[in-house]
Amino acid sequence: MSDELNYVLQARREKIAALAALGVVPFAYGFDRQQFAGQCAALLGDAADGPVVHLAGRVVALRAHGKTTFAHLGDPSGRVQLYFKRDVVGEIAYAVCDLLDLGDVIGVRGPLFRTRTGEVTVRVEHLELLAKSLRPLPFGKEEEVDGKVVRHAAFADGEQRSRQRYADLAVHPEVRALFTARSRMTTAIRGFLDALGYLEVETPVLQSMYGGAAAKPFVTQHNALDMPLFLRIADELYLKRLVVGGFERVYEIGHDFRNEGTDRTHNPEFTMLEFYEAYADYTTMMGRVEALLIAAAGAVRDALTAAGLASDAPAFDAAVLAGPFPRMEWLPALSQALHVADVTAMTDAELKAAAERAGVHNIATLSRPKLMDELFQHHVESHIERPTFVVDYPKELSPLAKPKRGNPALTERFELFARGKELANAFSELNDPLDQRQRFEVQARLKAAGDEEATGVDEDYLRAMEYGMPPMGGVGVGLDRLFMYLTGTAHIRDVILFPTMRPE
RNA sequence: GACCCGGUAGCUCAGUCGGUAGAGCAUGCGGCUUUUAACCGCCAGGUCGUGGGUUCGAUUCCCACCCGGGUCACCA
């Protein structure tokens, strides 16, 4: 998009001069707003005439009829019609009205009344231009059909809507409502954890050693210290240090960064919730996750309902979200899906043949547990529709989880799935520093062998653990994906205000 | 990273089997003092993503690149 002034932009700039000739400054310092558009209907009630209102907002529709003009003013509460009549506002103000454009930010004052067609309207007596719009916002025209708003020639280019989210938001109230719902969801999650005595903390984004997950990091450089720093790929190791320190229930909501490709479920920076609770095991955490999800869904449902956006998305599905969520054991579920008595009894050749049929790639390079994991993803995970806990993962797939009591081949780990996607991942956390050191060393060897996602030995973390780390349960929840699930949104870019994109 | 699709006016799109492009809305001008996808009339508006190539001539065909989307790979 060029910044050269085309005829449209030029015309708006010329209006600045015309306004100056009328003695009007096109950019104000403030306005004494006393009501919102959404209140007007109630203020007028059934009467033909109502009280004077002071409103501010953006001109979202404009219809000039010579010596009268109709417009709609949009503000955070909704929109209301404005009626400008030359005999009422006066010559000067009407001249200003004639210079109004779609998108201008204005303040108005005047009494409410009802038009011939019954619409609640402000009979504008006083008009203030608060910010002249010098660039046309991509408003579509709207009409009401059977009570529903139909938008014509709307701003539809997904790329531009993401790049210019300010314009997307300005012309699409329902997009504002969606992001409002996201904010309410986060608030509800904070409230849920705070009520349980959790402490919200902040841990480093810039780390000299990254860990807590397997992912390629972003690297940056600290000039004064002359050293490389990594953007965190997980919060986990710092939060668990805090449990050692005596903060027994901690959580953090923040961005993690992973240097990977983008697609409909991946953005290089994304919002992660992690929470850790001393003396809890994964069973306790399962209950926490279930209650947290229900609380989050309630907040999303309430916010969307308030905006008139009730739908059939999962947040509105009482049956799905009532709990308790079904539980499914990893090994028996896989055995059942493969129609065998015990998947662990299958030979390597049988597993590979099954993987072949499932369309798994690079089968030759995969270990037995990885093959089984691929089969699990293909045959089980992708078919899970309603929120379901998958419990007790094989040890090889869960390097950070404690062995399962009574069956050391498994770990005390669960993941929550819905609509075929992972929503949460949790364990009874490993708190044995000797075991932890061995696992770090395995990672270090992988890293030395060229594995870009492996991490090194975090000596400081081991030192913390050696001081004595209480047993604890820990959970990670990707909030972008949780919100996507609850709202039925297909693309992560549609739930992130400013998704990562190449520059134009 | 591979493959497929797309990029034309401010917005939404059409089109040119190769002869420098159209519509609706928006903008500008004129008319209209209760309209609501307001209406009526007139005008203007485009390096057809960028750079090369073929050609008398390229927005159209070819190549490369840029940006986006989709599928796959990757993402324990």
Please check whether residue A367 lies inside any domain of the structure: no
pLDDT, residue A214, reads 84
Cβ(A258)–Cβ(A215) below 8 Å: yes
Instruction: Provide the CA A53 to C1' B33 distance, Å, integer.
Output: 22
Return the closest nucleotide (C1') to the Cα of A142. B37
State the CATH number of the domain containing residue A10: 2.40.50.140
Q: Which long-range contacts (CB under 8 A, 24 or more apart) does A48-53 make?
A: A48/A113, A48/A114, A49/A111, A49/A112, A49/A113, A49/A114, A50/A111, A50/A112, A50/A113, A51/A111, A51/A112, A52/A109, A52/A110, A52/A111, A52/A112, A52/A125, A53/A109, A53/A110, A53/A111, A53/A112, A53/A122
Return the closest nucleotide (C1') to the Cα of A119. B36
Q: Which residue is nearest to nucleotide B30 (CA to C1')?
A: A66
Instruction: Provide the CA A489 to C1' B49 distance, Å, integer.
Output: 29
Same domain, A107 and A186: no
Please check whether residue A34 lies inside any domain of the structure: yes
Q: Which residue is nearest to nucleotide B13 (CA to C1')?
A: A153
Please check whether residue A246 lies inside any domain of the structure: yes
Instruction: Provide the CA A105 to C1' B23 distance, Å, integer.
Output: 31
State the CATH number of the domain containing residue A474: 3.30.930.10
Instruction: Provide the CA A99 to C1' B10 distance, Å, integer.
Output: 18
Same domain, A183 and A309: yes
How far is Cα A21 from Cα A29, in angstroms, rounded to an integer?
Answer: 20
**Which of these three, A80, A109, A136, is where a domain ends?**
A136
pLDDT, residue A1, reads 31
Instruction: Provide the CA A13 to C1' B24 distance, Å, integer.
Output: 26
| Residue-level pLDDT, tens digit, chain A, 504 residues | 333 457 788 888 899 999 999 999 999 999 999 999 999 999 999 999 999 999 999 999 999 999 999 999 999 999 999 999 999 999 999 999 999 999 999 999 999 999 999 999 999 999 999 999 998 898 888 887 777 778 888 888 888 888 889 999 999 999 999 999 999 999 999 999 999 999 999 999 999 999 888 888 888 999 999 999 999 999 999 999 999 999 999 999 999 999 887 888 899 999 999 999 999 999 999 999 999 999 999 999 999 999 988 888 999 998 888 889 999 999 999 999 999 999 988 998 898 888 888 888 878 878 888 889 889 988 999 889 899 999 999 988 887 889 999 999 999 999 999 988 899 999 999 999 999 998 888 888 888 877 777 788 999 999 999 999 999 999 999 999 999 999 999 899 999 999 988 877
Question: How many domains are contained in chain A?
Answer: 2
Please check whether residue A479 lies inside any domain of the structure: yes
Please check whether residue A359 lies inside any domain of the structure: no
Instruction: Provide the CA A18 to C1' B44 distance, Å, integer.
Output: 20
Return the closest nucleotide (C1') to the Cα of A212. B76
Same domain, A96 and A188: no
Would you tell me the crossing angle of helices A368-379 and A348-358 to the nearest 10 degrees?
Answer: 40
Q: Which residue is nearest to nucleotide B35 (CA to C1')?
A: A70
Q: Is A7 exposed, middle or buried (0-12, 13-18, 19+ CB in 10 A)?
A: exposed
Q: Rounded to a whole number, what is the distance in angstroms from the first to the last CA of chain A? A: 8
**Looking at chain A, how many residues does it have?**
504
pTM beyond 0.90: yes
Instruction: Provide the CA A114 to C1' B13 distance, Å, integer.
Output: 38
Same domain, A127 and A187: no
How far is Cα A93 from Cα A87, in angstroms, rounded to an integer?
Answer: 10
Boundaries of domain holding A260: 174-326+419-429+469-495
Would you tell me the crossing angle of helices A330-337 and A368-379 to the nearest 10 degrees?
Answer: 70
**Which of these three, A87, A116, A136, is where a domain ends?**
A136
DSSP for A222-285, written as a single string: ETTTTEEEEE-S-SHHHHHHHHHTT--EEEEEEEEE-----BTTB-SEEEEEEEEEET--HHHH
Same domain, A190 and A313: yes
Task: Name residues whose C-beta falls within 8 Å of residue A46's C-beta, 6 or more positions apart in sequence.
Answer: none
Instruction: Provide the CA A141 to C1' B14 distance, Å, integer.
Output: 20
Same domain, A180 and A249: yes
Instruction: Provide the CA A157 to C1' B6 distance, Å, integer.
Output: 12
Please check whether residue A231 lies inside any domain of the structure: yes
Please check whether residue A141 lies inside any domain of the structure: no
Positions in chain B where some atom is under 7 Å from a protein CB: 1, 9-13, 24-28, 31-39, 44-47, 66-76
Return the closest nucleotide (C1') to the Cα of A377. B76
Return the closest nucleotide (C1') to the Cα of A62. B36
Return the closest nucleotide (C1') to the Cα of A88. B33
Instruction: Provide the CA A70 to C1' B46 distance, Å, integer.
Output: 32
Same domain, A193 and A49: no
Please check whether residue A293 lies inside any domain of the structure: yes
Return the closest nucleotide (C1') to the Cα of A258. B75
Return the closest nucleotide (C1') to the Cα of A156. B12
**Which of these three, A119, A136, A153, is where a domain ends?**
A136
DSSP for A396-464, written as a single string: GG-TTBPEETTEEEEESEEEEEETTEEEEEEEEBP--HHHHHHHHHHHHHHHHTT-TT-----HHHHHH
Instruction: Provide the CA A504 to C1' B65 distance, Å, integer.
Output: 14
Tell whether the torsion through CA atoms of A367, A383, A282 and A217 is positive or negative: positive
